[in-house]
Structure 1
Amino acid sequence: MRQSTQRMLREAGLDPAEVRRIIETALREDLGPEFRDVTSVATIPAGQTDTADVVARADGVVAGLAVAAAVFELVGVLTGDGRTVEVSLVAVDGARVARGEVLATVTGPTRLLLTAERTALNLLSRMSGVATHTRAWADELAGTKAMVLDTRKTTPGLRILEKYAVRAGGGTNKRMGLYDVAMIKDNHKFAAGGIAAAYRRVREAFPEVAVQVEVDTLAEAEEAVAAGADFLLLDNMTPATLTEVVAAVGDRAELEATGGLTLDVAAEYASTGVDYLSVGALTHSSPILDVALDLRTR
């Protein structure tokens, strides 16, 4: 992929090599072991070139334009065609776009444009859908101190892209996986013999890793803070209980409300004074933003 596209990916916090791996996997899924688009090869002369527009089919927030560009730029290499596609981005990630708006323009061998089409649109549509959903939450929380967080409930293989889309939509990433943050949940507490024991074991084994503790009651919240935790997940608590925890804990720990939250109650939960609302639905239930590729009329 082009240096400019790699730079955009890095600026978005994405590793170009990892993005390429995702694209190659997706293209292989679509093109099979021979990396072949039988319809385009059969119907389109090898020398034909065209220009096409990537167009929004609905209002929303766009995310993943550099990823889509990388698909078009890599398709010639990965299929063995050897030719290149020129990509010109019109929109920018995080922007609100309207139905009918051109997001990008691609020019090159027509076979390559159509071979890359579905993979590019699948990734762009998925990421833009996540960004659009996240923006709705961010808008709902505007004016409060609370921020919307994602979770690990992501599509296998697409986590880095979906978590980037959350950022593009105005949300915040929690942890990338089981390796960068320790999260002591109910099963860990049970297996270790309690909050204090579990917290102590994590601190001894991984002193450099941030530790978060899931709690279900005010008493557990106070126990976790006493043990040293500075980040609490307040699981399935009512707004009234959350308000009590905020008052009891104060600024000794960051507080995250979690568990079955929906947009219609977001403002009520944010008003309790918690720092975050975590929403698995950002990544596991966001509908796509419909995006299409339209060849220009000759």
Structure 2
Amino acid sequence: MISAQIARLITDAGLDPDYVERVVRNALEEDLDGGEDVTTAATVDETARAVADFTSRADGVAAGVPVAAAVLDLVCDGSARIEFHVADGDRVEPGTVLFTAAGRVRDLLTAERTALNLLCHLSGIATVTRAWVDAVAGTGARIRDTRKTTPGLRGLEKYAVRCGGGVNHRMSLSDAAMVKDNHVVAAGGVVEAFEAVRKRYPHLPIEVEVDTLDQLLPVVEAGAELVLLDNFTPERMRAAVLLVGRNEPYGRTRLEASGGLTLSQARAAAETGVDYLSVGALTHSAPILDVGCDFRSG
């Protein structure tokens, strides 16, 4: 199992060590398939030792450093000496060493690709998120993720969004309700769908998706605290903000813009006064941050 040192770092990051260990073991199983790293076993002396530097090759934001370290920790059976040089959420540049691991060369080589796969992917998400966050800085709008995540990696990918300065949408279908167009059709109307969910799950947060301004006011008057504006133009977003402000005497309903947003449009959308920009691309389309692993004697 993951060592106490790495488990503590994972916990401090707001992640569950047991979940991280399951993800890592599944990833390692893909590489080892019940066997061993045959190339490394044939070419590297079992007594050889080295230090592996995990180094950024590009500008970005680090995320998943303790997760990648957990890969080394498990493969090395707790014997690796791991030293951290940055924390998740830190900006990095070419040449920045994120962390180092000292141990048997065989173990380091076996763990290298799995550790890099996770580290590059999560840092890529954090980097893209930070670009969106920077684009709307000063507007009051927050960048929010979606459930458009890689199956089995949602917890890590949403964590990477937080490392980039974004905020999370619901984690699962059970921890919050999201009334969308197909629910509206099934229930016979947007207000009817909202009230049906509120009646059955009165303690859960409920978000309601609307396609038009005509749908907005009725759900606000029904008590919706969060409304998603689906594929609204900036002009219609601004009108929605004004409409809600005039008709919510006890505190304005929060509004979330979603659908078709691009980074170049982010500030224009944020300046309309919406509270959130929902961006599926944070997780489903983020390119990796290029991180390499360089070995040296030690």
TM (norm. structure 2) is 0.96
* SS of equivalent residue, structure 1 residue 252: coil
**What does residue 211 of structure 1 align with?**
206
Tell me which amino acid in the other structure corresponds to 2:113: R
1:182 aligned to which of 164, 170, 177: 177
Is 2:235 the counterpart of 1:240?
A: yes
Alignment partner of 2:195 out of 179, 186, 200 = 200
Q: Which amino acid aligns with 2:279?
A: V
Aligned partner of 2:43 in structure 1 is 43
Alpha-carbon distance between aligned partners in 1 of 2:98 and 2:287, rounded to the nearest angstrom: 19
Identity %: 54
Q: Deviations over 1:182-236 (max 9, x none)?
A: 0000000001111122112111221111100000111111111122211000000
Deviation at 1:252, TM superposition (A): 2.8
- Where 2:76 maps in the other structure, the secondary structure is helix
AA paired with 1:50?
A
Residue 138 (structure 1) aligns with: 133
2:159 counterpart of 1:158: no
Partner of 1:291: 291
The 5 Å alignment of 1:1-298 reads: 1-34=2-35, 36-77=36-77, 84-250=79-245, 251-297=251-297
Task: Give, in whole Å, the separation in 2 of the partners of 1:254 and 1:200.
Answer: 18
Following the alignment from structure 1 to structure 2, what is the Cα–Cα distance between the partners of residues 10 and 203?
A: 34
- Which amino acid is 1:38 matched to? V
Instruction: State the AA in 2 paired with 1:7.
Output: R
Question: Partners in 1 of 2:10 and 2:205 — Cα distance?
Answer: 27
In the alignment, is the contact (CA less than 8 A) between 1:51 and 1:108 conserved in 2?
yes
1:225–1:252 Cα contact (<8 Å) kept: no
- Between the two proteins, the alignment pairs up a number of residues equal to 292
Distance in 1 between residues matched to 2:58 and 2:241, nearest whole Å: 40
Instruction: Supply the distance in 2 between the matched residues of 1:48 and 1:193 (Cα, whole angstroms).
Output: 69
In the TM superposition, what whole-angstrom CA distance separates every residue of 1:100-147 from its partner, at most 9, and x where no partner exists? 111111001110000000000000000000000000000001010101
Say whether the 8 Å CA contact 1:121–1:291 is kept in structure 2: yes
User: Could you tell me how far apart the structure 1 residues matched to 2:238 and 2:119 are?
Assistant: 39
Counterpart residue identity of residue 184, structure 2: K
Q: Letter of the 1:182 partner, please give it.
A: A
Q: Partners in 2 of 1:4 and 1:277 — Cα distance?
A: 37
Distance in 2, matches of 1:180 and 1:271, equals 30
Q: CA deviation at 1:297?
A: 4.7
Paired residue type of 1:274: V
On the 8 A contact 1:6/1:16 being kept in 2, the answer is yes
Distance 2:198 2:265 in 1: 35
Q: Read off the aligned partner of 2:176 and give its amino acid letter.
A: V
Moved over 3 A (4+): none
User: Taking structure 1 as the reference length, what is the TM-score of the superposition?
Assistant: 0.96
Q: State the alpha-carbon separation in 1 of the partners of residues 176 and 228 from structure 2.
A: 13
- Mapped partners of 1:296, 1:127: distance in 2: 25
The aligned amino acid for 1:6 is A
**Structure 2 counterpart of 1:80:** none
Give the secondary structure class of the aligned counterpart of 1:33.
Answer: coil
Shift in Å, 1:278: 0.5
